[in-house]
Amino acid sequence: MAMTKNELKDYLDFKSEQYNQQSFIETDPIQLPHQFSKKEDIEIVGFLIATIAWGQRATIIKNGRRLIEIMNNTPYEFILNYELQPLNFVHRTFNAIDLDFFFRSLRNIYETGGLEAAFREHNEFGGIKGRIINFRNQFLEVEHEKRSEKHVSNPENNSATKRINMFLRWMVRNDNQGVDFGIWNSIPTSELYLPLDVHTSRHARSLGLITRKQDDWKALEELMTNLRKFDPIDPCKYDFALFGIGAFE
C-alpha cells in the first residue's frame, strides 16, 4: 500500500537524519576535502573529487588521494602556481590531458574571482541551472581539447549534472552534522538540486517521486519539485535518504 504524503515525508525525514551523520564520511569521497580547513583547499579538492565521482566509491577515494598527492597536499597553492607538467593520472575516461585542462582552468577561475563567484546568477536561466551554465561557460574559456568537455556536464543538454550538483551540495549545505561544509553563502540551500544517480533515481521512482523514465535534468526537476513540498528550505537533505536507502539497505 502506497504511503500518504505525510507518511512519505516522515519516512524521508527519518532516513535523512539516519544517514546525514559523521559516520557517512567514512565510506564516502567527501572524506577527502574534509582533510583540509582552508576554504580554497576544500573547494578545489571537493570539485576535483566530485568530477571523478563515478564508479566504485573505494576507487574514487583511492584516485582522489592520488590527485591530492599530485597537488603536493597544498591544492590552492598548487593551482595558483600551476604550469604545464607531466601528469600521471587516469580515472576511467578522465586522464592526464583532462587533468591539465582542469588545473589550468581552476587557475584562471581563481585569478578572476574564485570558484564560488563562478557560480553567479545567470541573466537568462534562473536558479541552479543558470549558475551551472555560467560556471561551465567560464570553465571552458581556457584552451582545451574537445574531449575534456564531457567532464563538465551541461544542463542545457538535459544532463542531470550529477557531479556538479554533488559538489554544490557539499559547498552550500550547512547540515550541522559535519558532513556537508556550508562554506558558500552566495547560494541558498533552497536552490540546490541533489545528485541524481542510479540509487537515488531507483528509489525516487519506487516512492512515486519521479515518473519520468530517463535520469536527466527533467527527471531531476520533477524530483526536486516533489521534495520541496516536504522541505522548501533544504530539499537536498533528502539526498541522504534516497542514496542511503539504495547504497546501504
pLDDT at 1: 56
Q: How confident is the model at residue 55 (pLDDT cuts 50, 70, 90)?
A: confident
- Three-state helix/strand/coil letters over the chain: CCCCHHHHHHHHHHHHHHHCCHHHHHHCHHHCHHHCCCHHHHHHHHHHHHHCCCCCHHHHHHHHHHHHHHCCCCHHHHHHCCCCCCCCCEECCEEHHHHHHHHHHHHHHHHCCCHHHHCCCCCCCCHHHHHHHHHHHHHCCCCCCHHHHHHCCCHHHCCCCHHHHHHHHHHHCCCCCCCCCCCCCCCCHHHCCCCCCHHHHHHHHHCCCCCCCCCCHHHHHHHHHHHHCCCCCCHHHHHHHHHHHHHHC
> In the predicted model, what is the mean pLDDT of residues 17-37?
92
pLDDT at residue 9 in the model: 95
pLDDT for position 199: 84
The mean per-residue pLDDT over the stretch 100-116 comes to 97
Q: How confident is the model over 77-102, as pLDDT tens digits?
A: 999 999 988 898 889 889 999 999 99
Question: pLDDT band at residue 56, thresholds of 50, 70 and 90?
Answer: confident
Residue with cell 543538454: 157
137/160 Cα distance (integer angstroms): 17
Predicted local distance difference test score (pLDDT) of residue 161: 96
**The pLDDT value given to residue 82:** 96
**Section 154-180 average pLDDT:** 95
Are the C-beta atoms of 12 and 230 separated by less than 8 Å? yes
Whether residue 192 has pLDDT greater than 60:
yes
